């Protein structure tokens, strides 16, 4: 009997050792498939409304909804953090080989020289020029045949009017260039945390005569403020739809991660959730423009068959 027990426990001990070896190899292989915390890219965002959207997983507008969907699809691949605008540029331009990225960024030729960009994450109606309450409509001679403002500079010929905008935020190349050329006395430049709610409050209180803002964000704010109403103008030469991207510092690690994120976006483009996120809480007219822009990216870049708009037109999101 002792010999039988001894043989039994030897065999059992051998099995336990074998199990532990297999378990060790499995966990090592499994962990090799997951990015190490130090190797993961840090994805920052400076857009204040996204703080609440990320916390609650509930978006208030289309740009938050589309970026929230992207973050949900990459949550195991990156570290997501909020960082105020005033600190973001320093972090992004740090001398490091680590991948550092930022959400909600417009692609410009100036930025392309310094950073890598993902495929579009968000598609949204382009910035408009908004007038403070009480101002008369713009003179017809300043508008083109479609009612868009031909040039920004004539608004400031009297050297008195002022325009409100965020420091360090791109509004697209054409608008950025126009703002740079304005005299300093015509500018009210806001630094710090990016929040269009703050911008809207300031223009509504007459802190400036004009402001450059996205209509989806103005509409979101207006839905919370029933008496809120600002007169908007499209800008001549600016495409009707802007695209928001992930922007990363230029190093080999970021280049590799951008490629991975683009693969994720290609899959997202083919989902109904992506269309729903980008058309969340916008008008039917804007919805058509957004879906056409998404289809254009899919057709030109990804060679994916466009979505039939007739299947979703007129639906509320």
Q: Mean pLDDT in runs of 10 for the chain (317 residues)?
A: 44 43 36 54 91 92 95 92 88 93 94 95 94 93 96 86 88 92 91 68 89 83 63 94 96 95 93 95 91 90 53 43
Residue 8 has a pLDDT of 40
Residue 220 has a pLDDT of 72
Identify whether the C-beta of residue 244 lies closer than 8 Å to the C-beta of residue 169.
no
Identify whether the C-beta of residue 17 lies closer than 8 Å to the C-beta of residue 25.
no
Residue 186 has a pLDDT of 94
Residue 214 has a pLDDT of 86
Token pair 């001398």: residue: 95
Q: Could you tell me the two tokens for 60? A: 């208030």
Other CB atoms within 10 Å distance of the CB of residue 151: 12
Residue 27 has a pLDDT of 35
d(CA 191, CA 202): 13
d(CA 296, CA 284): 18
This prediction's pTM: 0.78
Identify whether the C-beta of residue 261 lies closer than 8 Å to the C-beta of residue 116.
no
Q: Tell me the C-alpha to C-alpha distance, in Å, between residue 1 and each of 4, 7, 12, 91.
A: 5, 10, 16, 72
Identify whether the C-beta of residue 78 lies closer than 8 Å to the C-beta of residue 100.
no
Residue 112 has a pLDDT of 94
Select from 113, 107, 102, 82 the least CA-distant residue to 248: 102
């Amino acid at each position: 009997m002792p010999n039988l027990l001894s043989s039994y426990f030897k065999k059992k001990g051998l099995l336990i050792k074998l199990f532990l070896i297999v378990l060790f190899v499995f966990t090592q292989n499994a962990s090799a498939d997951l990015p190490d915390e130090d190797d993961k890219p840090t994805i920052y965002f400076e857009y204040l409304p996204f703080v609440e959207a990320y916390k609650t997983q509930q978006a208030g507008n289309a740009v938050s909804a589309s970026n929230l969907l992207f973050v949900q699809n990459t949550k195991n691949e990156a570290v997501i953090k909020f960082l105020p605008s005033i600190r973001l540029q320093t972090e992004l331009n740090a001398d490091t080989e680590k991948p550092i990225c930022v959400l909600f960024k417009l692609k410009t030729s100036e930025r392309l020289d310094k950073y890598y960009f993902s495929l579009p994450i968000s598609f949204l109606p382009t910035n408009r020029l908004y007038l403070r309450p009480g101002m008369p409509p713009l003179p017809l001679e300043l508008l083109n045949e479609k009612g868009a403002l031909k040039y920004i500079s004539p608004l400031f010929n009297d050297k008195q009017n002022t325009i409100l905008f965020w420091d360090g935020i791109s509004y697209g190349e054409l608008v950025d260039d126009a703002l740079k050329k304005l005299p300093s006395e015509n500018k009210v430049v806001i630094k710090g945390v990016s929040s269009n709610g703050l911008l809207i409050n300031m223009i509504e209180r007459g802190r400036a005569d004009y402001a450059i803002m996205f209509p989806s964000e103005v509409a979101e704010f207006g839905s919370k403020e029933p008496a809120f109403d600002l007169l908007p103008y499209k800008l001549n030469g600016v495409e009707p739809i802007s695209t928001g991207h992930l922007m990363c510092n230029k190093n080999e690690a970021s280049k590799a991660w951008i490629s991975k994120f683009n693969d994720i976006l290609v899959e997202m483009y083919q989902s109904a959730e992506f269309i729903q996120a980008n058309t969340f809480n916008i008008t039917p007219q804007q919805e058509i423009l957004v879906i056409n822009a998404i289809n254009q990216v899919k057709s030109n870049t990804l060679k994916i068959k466009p979505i039939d708009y007739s299947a979703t037109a007129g639906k509320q999101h």
